[in-house]
Chain A
Amino acid sequence: MILSMLMEPEQAAQAAADATKAAEAATEAAKAAPPWETLSPWDTLPQASTFAEGTDALYLFIVGISVFFFLLVMAVQAYFMWKYRRLSEDQKTSSITHNGKIEFLWSAIPAVLLVVIFVWGEVDFLKQTVPPNDAVQVRVTGRQWFWTIEYPDYPGVQLTSSVDESQVTLMVPKGQPVQLTMTSEDVLHSFYIPAFRIKRDVVPGRYTTLWFEATQVGEFNLYCAEYCGDQHSAMIGKVKVLEPELFAAALADAGKLEQEPSESLAAFGERIYSRRGCNACHSLDGSPKTGPTWKGLWQKNETTDKGAVLVDDNYIKESILEPNAQIVNGFTGVKMPSYKGQLDDKHITALIEFMKTLK
């Protein structure tokens, strides 16, 4: 029992190390490949979900048809350009004005091919809209400019992407369907994992869903694909696919946010600052972002909609658990989300210690 408890995190760590290695190898390969090879389709983009092969097959089918018709038209054009170039001013030209048979053919043949492509694309698309019943449930929240991931079946686990570093944002088991239920707290975002060939807009005020089944262990890029303002290009992260037997333990490990034995309270606070996404809205260098900067915040005289207030332990705790109780002047636009139930007293103390260091 004790042994197995010890084993799991270790295995998880091993898997994590393997995945990083695989990812490194992939980037190495991309770097080493000569430029003409990086131009060939899909060579650095893995096919890591059950949808990827289908989408790529259809993609290549259309590439084939397009290249064929393009070369055909260009070859005919080039031949005519050479053959019928003007050699003398009084060169006669043909009186042809139309040809019903040819015109019918060149309308009908593309039409038939287009219908084939349409049906193929439609069938694959429908597969993507119906998630299986036994899918692992994941909740995704988009905010300017980070993602928050929660697992209803694993209470307390919360992963966030971070503006400053691309850390693991989404963890999923290999070979099991995963369903994402997504919403946004502010503007439109779009959840995009190229290696899985999936994408779906994340819309405020409603839920959109997306599902996939990962087929490869490793780390893959995750992007926001819908323009959402300033840090749109920083709203990225990593999707980590794990062997199913390692998934639960790794998730628990990644989700937990505890002070390391060697870590000072302030350092732990700094870790919370980036892991819980405070850094998306609060800067440390004095520049205002969506929220007020934390530089010089401790013991400052803050003016809020309820009047003047001294920034002390109680005020900070209130600001984190009930952000709308007192709203700092000049920051009425975007609301800070409440962290009630997500950060405990220990976390808040650590954050306060961290703030104290920001003179």
Chain B
Amino acid sequence: MADDKSKHDAEHAEGHGKREPSYLVAQRGLKSWLFTIDHKRLGLMYLGSTLLFFFVGGVAAILFRTELLTPAGDFIPWLLSHLPTALGGTGGDVEAAVAQSATTYNKLFTVHGAVMVFLVIIPAVPGSLGNFLLPLMLGAKDVAFPRLNLLSFWVYTLGACFFLYTLFAGGLDTGWTFYTPYSSTTGTAVVSALFGAFILGFSSILTGLNFMVTIHKMRAPGMTWNRMPLFCWSIYATAVIQVLATPVLAITLLLLVVERTLNIGIFDPAMGGDPVLFQHFFWFYSHPAVYIMILPGFGIISELVAVHSRKHIFGYKAIALSSVAIAIISFIVWGHHMFVSGQSELAAIVFSFLTFAVAVPTAIKVFSWVATLYKGSIQFNTPMLYALMFLFTFSIGGLTGVFLGTLSVDVHLHDTYFVVAHFHYVMMGGTIIAFIGGLHHWWPKMTGRTYSVWQSKWAALLVFIGFNMTFFNQFVLGQQGMPRRYYTYVPQFQQQHMMSTIGSYILFLGLLWIAIYLLASLRRSAAPKEPLPDNTWGGASLEWSTQTPPIEHNFHGQPRVDTDPYNFPQIDRTGEVDHH
């Protein structure tokens, strides 16, 4: 054992001596990026595209939040009548603008939801950070199937093109849930959107498969399952869901395409189909998908909390296994989206019970993260600020889920703003906050650049304030009876809607600021004089042991592992008797 360690150290030192060109410059030219099979470059390309779509989805949200400043429909008609026809407006025709305004609102919230779910949150963490980090953390040269990885990316791009086509072909107004029979009858571009989501599903499946095999087969010598960073565990649990659940979505969407194009009744009662069947199929995928979205976020938080407090993560096994438990249980709770849909009472009761079962492993994680802080050495670096913010927002998201899992209370809250607030606290306050935190944590490793510390901290504050201002209100709105997806609303709700909209502006500014200083750090003139240190934060997992940014093949020689990734040198080992 001691032998391994010294060997590893020796290789390490050697690596420092002769700096090799990083993966960013190892090959040059556009082609070397577009057809790269390097997981790190693919990670960066996913990062770029998901952030671009995050912006698109965000702009849509800002537009409809502006509309909701007042109870009546006024901003969208104004906007439409001032836009030239080439941009989808009516070029001064006020009457036509008014006639199209409700549909436009519906298209905006659909674009926001569909883009954020299918193009941003599902692929964001696995695609960018997952791709970049997984082989590095495992001590591997690349993922198991690098070419398949490239294919995943291009399949993702193709799916995204279908979505873009949908936008230009008049948009989509079904909501991201595509509920039938509305989606089988509406005149908007449903088929291309369905194909887009269908294709994106394949990208997701291929990535999941690749990651699963990578984790099984490519771990460095000495890296037992229990010495794997928790981020890898969460990616593993995610991959299992991606591979098992996504095919169901794909088939469901395909059935809907068949119904629309060939007029075969599957979900539309007018043709003898069953609309509730669609909801079962849809949520059979989309509930597990919620965990495709959040589990990688959990993984990030485990890393950030441990590294920035230099403490061994508390309850490693509980955190790792609760990810797997959540992944498994997530397959049998889909009916909690359908308590009032007309499914049987017995089904509703069973689904409610199982839903409560997911709450326990989730609570365990939160407690374990907080316990990790105990007797640590906590430094409030920007990534750590996001991790602490996550504990705040995600706790609210998780706790409000209990309301929705409770049968009688959900009858009142279902399809109101309470649900909107809940899933934004989980998806945005959970996944996106963790993602931004992770981005700040690994940014130096990925790009070899550093961002402005003071700017990043102020921006984090803006995001925190803006986020809570936007969404906390919406719990109240929902519990007061404000239904979701409403273009106009009764005047009683205006105060809270206004507060929400102002919050969304603050949030948007905060996010924009982050984009600006991160992009600024990439300018040629912002390049650091001296290459950055390999280990930015004093992390103990393998990605910190290699050069920053990493070389093309990740490591000089094969790294070996003889301890777990949370064994920081600062940990006080005195008083431990039975360590060896």
Contacts and interface: CB of A to CB of B under 8 A. Distances in A.
A261 to B, nearest CB: 35
B350 to A, nearest CB: 10
Nearest to A227: B485
Nearest to B373: A80
A124 B408 contact: yes
Contacts of A126: 345
Contact of B414 (A77, A110, A111, A225): A225
Interface string A68-89: 0110011011001100111000
A254 B359 CA distance: 49
A99 B416 CA distance: 41
A93 B571 contact: yes
Given A92-B572, A94-B311, A59 B370 contact: no
Interface stretch (A2-10, A113-121, A267-275): A113-121
B481 A45 contact: yes
A234 B311 contact: no
Contacts of A42: 479-480
A76 B411 contact: no
B395 A73 contact: yes
Contacts of A73: 366-367, 370, 391, 395
Interface string B411-444: 1101110000000000000000000000000000
Nearest to B317: A98
B388 A81 contact: yes
B340 A55 contact: no
A44 B179 CA distance: 32
A187 B481 contact: no
Chain A interface extent, by class = 35 or more
A236 B473 CA distance: 23
A200 interface: yes
B359 A110 contact: yes
B216 interface: no
B49 to A, nearest CB: 29
A204 B353 contact: no
A58 interface: yes
A230 B103 CA distance: 5
Contact of A204 (B275, B360, B479): B275
A345 interface: no
Contact of A221 (B353, B378, B481, B485): B481
B316 A96 contact: no
A333 B186 CA distance: 10
A2 B103 CA distance: 53
B479 A59 contact: yes
A92 B360 contact: no
Interface in B297-354: 309-318, 339-342, 345, 348-349, 352-353
B571 A128 contact: no
Contacts of A188: 179-182, 275
B69 to A, nearest CB: 15
Contact of A93 (B377, B489, B490): B377
A35 B349 CA distance: 38
Contacts of A99: 314, 371
B182 A187 contact: yes
A206 interface: yes
Interface string B176-189: 00011110011000
9 contacts: A93-B311, A103-B318, A118-B356, A125-B348, A190-B415, A197-B408, A199-B414, A229-B182, A230-B106
Interface of A: 27, 30, 35, 38-39, 41-42, 44-45, 51, 54-55, 58-59, 62, 66, 69-70, 73-74, 76-77, 80-81, 84-86, 90-99, 102-103, 106-107, 110-111, 114-115, 117-118, 120-122, 124-126, 128-129, 186-188, 190, 192, 194-195, 197-201, 203-206, 208, 221, 223-234, 236, 285, 287, 333
A-B complex: 3 closest residue pairs judged by Cβ atoms:
A194-B481, A205-B269, A94-B375
Given A192-B415, A199-B340, 16 more contacts: A39-B476, A55-B409, A59-B479, A66-B399, A74-B391, A77-B373, A80-B374, A84-B376, A84-B378, A94-B572, A98-B316, A103-B364, A117-B356, A121-B407, A122-B352, A199-B414
